[in-house]
Structure 1
Amino acid sequence: MLKHDVVIIGGGAGGLAAAASLLRRDPELDIAVIEPREFHDYQPGYTLIGAGVFSLSDVRRPMAKVMPRGVTWLRTSAKSLKPNTNEVVLATGVIVGYRILIVATGNRLDFDAISGLTETLGKNGVTSNYRSDLAPYTWELTQGLRTGRALFTQPPMPIKCAGAPQKAMYLSANHWERTLVLRNIGVEFHSAAPTIFGVADYVPALEETIERYGIDPYFESNLVAVDGRARVATFRSAGGEITRSFDMLHVSPPQKPVEIVTNSLLADRAGYVDVDPMTLQHKHFANVFALGDIGGMSNAKTAAAVRKQAPVVAENVEAVFAGESPHAIYDGYGSCPLTVEKGKILLAEFGYGGVLLPSFPKFVIDGTKPSRLAWHLKKDLLPAIYWDAMLKGREWLASPAEMTKAA
């Protein structure tokens, strides 16, 4: 049996950022990260791969290069969780004990939930920017389409990066606009949500974008089946099922919590880790924390949210080690840079309850309006901040608030 001070499940954005933040505070801490993958991707870059701006090499690095120094990397996956005995069972059968457990597994892309989808992905005009191997096909389809119908879908919440379905649509539409073929293409947005965006302040600019591109929105319309060979998609809404033919179909898949969490004592009713939304500490197991997409918080599931969550987890883990109550709080911050065209972004930043939490004064970047500066922030600065700050424990503009100050 192995034993470590801290065991982190997941070597994605949340797991590595939490490990790096902890080691910044205590370089001697014994941390193990459970992660089977050989590569680490900057997932916010997938949308720009789908627009021909980035390539896979721009968003991917070997896991060995980004794993924080001093961390024990367990190159396998977790099989089950035993919080009553402070243990994780690995896929290899090895049991790992811990003093603190941090769950950062991310969520699960459930392409199989849509009938007929898996077997037609990557062909027959069916693609998804949610997978790195499919994002280049999005760009190929966008470039090749000169006439016909293009469908873009959004599943029920919660999903990672709720703006991603729209980003793919706007970037494709912008390409068709620039190449003077947009008038020949019928663009439809089928969203399971009741509105274009959940935070009202950003809706006017998005409605203007929809109108600009001549996009037909279908709300509370959920993709349930795809016939790739026939190029027909089936949607279900309150009025029943409808079918739509397509020449291009961009699918944002339904997303679910990972099974090792759902099948454990750590899960809430929805299957996510049942944590306090402010301290990110488990509600029943005081030595368990979660961050990222697997956390049962109501925030937008984005990399920007993780950047704010990691220092909160690190501070509160240190407090637990010291026998104190957690004192750092997370305000629900999430950022969704909505790319409305190649060169302009609507920088949506908000917290719990839809409260706006802008990082910049309005005269620098007004997040409710498309901005060229926000485009350069996403394209040029945010990847560098991710690799060189967030994954290395440098908490620029991410210092956690203290509970006493917020009271």
Structure 2
Amino acid sequence: MFAAKSVTRAASRHRCWTRFLSTATAAPSSYKVVVVGGGAGGLAVSSTLSQKLGKNEVSVIEPSATHYQQPLFTFVGGGLKSFDEAHRPTSEVVSPDAQWINQAAAHIDPDNNTITLADGAKVSYEYLVVAAGIELNFAGIKGLESSIGKNGVASNYSPHYVQNTYEFLQNVREGNALFTMPATPIKCAGAPQKIAYLADELFCEKGIRDKVAVNYYTALGKIFAIDKYANAMNEVARSRDISVNLFHDLVEVDGAGKKATFKILGSGPQAGETVVVPYEFLHVTPPMKPFDFIKNSAIANGAGYVDVNQGTLQHTKYPNVYAIGDCSSLPTSKTAAAAAAQSSVLKHNLLNQIRGTAAPAAEYNGYTSCPLVTGKHKLVLAEFSGYTGAPHETFFFNQAKEHAFSYWLTADVLPAVYWSSMLKGTWDGPATIRKVANPTSAN
């Protein structure tokens, strides 16, 4: 009898404690600000806003339990960094003042200020920040889904396959090593060629470079969008005997046969034809696309990206909606550096709107950066405006030259800044540093 009572009391305490936890952790259904996306841009914004507006006034809708520092994936794929350095639990990086909703967004209704989650629940907002990123579309290449992660096929763009890159590169003894760049907009447009340079260096170290042909295939008409850095990368590729094939878009992968099929784009005499290339190693940059819940909503432009003013980051139709980063219509490269600069502008303008302050709007100038790793301790630090194409270099030396300092900055300093400052909303990019390190805007 006594034992039975003890079990009953324990069970009763458990039920009460469970009810308390459920009540304590239950997310409210309405917020001052809802941020869709817990990537670099979303956390940079939500961390600051939650501190300024108070606890649980801001929510972050993010389905992944793990946050990845994607700029490190090139170093992981090249065997220069551990994968463990590139991720942390989402629960550790979302601000404690914000409410993390661990679900995916399924629908945005800007006319009613609501977001429908994957489980059907609705979340209301006064202000919305869309920071959802961009979707990897492995299905966009025939045969890729069944080939990747085996058959010598890898991709630094996915946490599921990035570790395969170095593993498969080490297995190469001879043959073709192929590296691809798609025709669609992608995040970090320099990454497809970075791994080619690291692979070249690895093959040289192993003494097999004369047996391996390193080939870069890009669907675009030049190796890099900005001429200053395009000239530099063409020279790097030429000096290392890396074949650069323009207007070649990967359309099919035959994993069992180890063959890659490219469609020739452009207006040349071979446009529309296909070329089949055998490979021993294939690094694929998948085509990318806007998420359907954005593309199919009223906030999207014709291409499926959140339609915002390129200066203020405010939506062109819905004044209480903003966007940042890869999911936005901003005509600049999609990088973490761009998101950092955009976050400062967005937070300034949104906070002024919330507070009713009639201060002048901050303006984003299209700044972005693409650190182009060319080897161990070598890097071309491209910094520019995606709006004008003009370089915006932080340092006084010519950053189009390979430099050990640029490598150290990117490989060791910026990762620490990312975790300790950017995700906490206190890093807005190097504009302040530039005033000291390159006051005359040299180079």
TM range, smaller chain: over 0.9
TM alignment of 1:217-228, pairs within 5 A: 217-228=244-255
**Residue 146 of structure 1: aligned partner:** 173
For residues 133 and 83 of structure 1, the distance between their equivalents in structure 2, rounded to whole angstroms, comes to: 34
The 3-state SS of whatever aligns with 2:330 is coil
Opposite residue 367 of structure 1, the aligned amino acid is Q
CA distance in 1, matches of 2:308, 2:164: 38
- Quick one: distance in 2 between partners of 1:394 and 1:193? 36
**1:403 paired residue number:** none
TM-score, length-normalised on structure 2? 0.87
Provide closer, same or farther for how the CA distance between residues 153 and 281 of structure 1 changes in structure 2, counting only shifts above 3 A: same
Residue 353 of structure 1 corresponds to which residue in structure 2? 388
What residue in structure 1 maps to residue 189 of structure 2? 162
Read off the aligned partner of 1:33 and give its amino acid letter: V
Q: Which amino acid aligns with 2:237?
A: I
Cα displacement string for residues 118-174 of structure 1 (whole angstroms, at most 9, x for unaligned residues): 001011111111112211111012222121111110001410000000011111011
1:367 aligns with 2:399: yes
- Equivalent AA in structure 2 for residue 382 of structure 1: L
Q: Which runs of 5+ in 2 are unaligned?
A: 1-27, 433-443
- Cα pair 2:51 2:97 within 8 Å, conserved: no
Q: 2:135 aligns with which of 95, 108, 114?
A: 108
Structure 1 partner of 2:376: 342
Aligned to 1:7: 34
Paired residue for 1:54? 81
Match of 1:118 among 118, 132, 145: 145
Match of 1:241 in 2: 274
Alignment partner of 1:186: what SS?
Answer: strand
Aligned counterpart for 2:306 among listed residues 273, 284, 288:
273
Q: Which has the larger radius of gyration?
A: 2
* Distance in 1 between residues matched to 2:106 and 2:55, nearest whole Å: 28
1:24–1:393 Cα contact (<8 Å) kept: no
Per the normalisation by structure 1, the TM-score is: 0.95
| Aligned residue identity for 1:136 | Q
Amino acid at match of 2:290: P
**Residue 404 (structure 1) aligns with:** none
Give aligned pairs, total: 397
Distance 2:111 2:430 in 1: 33
How far apart, CA to CA, are the structure 2 residues paired with 1:396 and 1:246? 42
Question: Which residue is equivalent to 1:209?
Answer: 236
How far 1:178 sits from its partner (Å)? 2.4
Asked whether the equivalents of residues 371 and 379 of structure 2 are also in contact (C-alpha less than 8 Å), the reply is yes
Q: Deviations over 1:237-275 (max 9, x none)?
A: 142111001001100000000000000000011100000
User: For 2:96, which of 69, 84, 91 is the aligned residue?
Assistant: 69
- Alpha carbon RMSD of aligned pairs, Å? 1.5
**Could you give the per-residue CA deviations for residues 176-202 of structure 1, whole angstroms, max 9, x where no partner exists?**
122221111111111001011110011
What are structure 1's unaligned runs of at least 5 residues?
A: 401-407
**What is residue 95 of structure 1 aligned with on the other side?**
122
Paired position in structure 1 for 2:198: 171
Counterpart of 1:231 in structure 2 is: 258
Secondary structure at the aligned position of 2:306 is classed as: coil
3-state secondary structure, aligned to 1:328: coil
1:74-85 alignment runs, 5 A limit: 74-85=101-112
Report the Cα distance in structure 1 between the residues aligned to 2:431 and 2:234, rounded to whole angstroms: 34
Contact 1:2 1:96 in 2 (8 A): yes
Q: In structure 2, which of residues 312, 316, 333 is the aligned counterpart of residue 283 of structure 1? A: 316
Structure 2 vs 1, CA of residues 226 and 397 (structure 1 numbering), >3 Å: closer, same or farther? closer
**Which stretch has the larger CA shift, 14-23 or 38-47?**
14-23
Query: Partner residue of 1:316?
Result: 349
1:149–1:187: 8 Å Cα contact kept in structure 2?
yes
1:35-55 CA-to-partner distances (Å, cap 9, x unmatched) read 111110100111111111112
Q: How far, CA to CA, are the matches of 2:334 and 2:282 in structure 1?
A: 24
Look up the equivalent residue of 1:64 and give its one-letter code: S
**Whole-angstrom CA distance in 2 between matches of 1:250 and 1:86:** 42
Q: Is the 8 A contact 1:279 1:326 kept in 2?
A: no
SS at match of 2:423: helix
Write the letter of the residue equivalent to 1:200.
D
Change (3 A) 1:396 1:12: closer
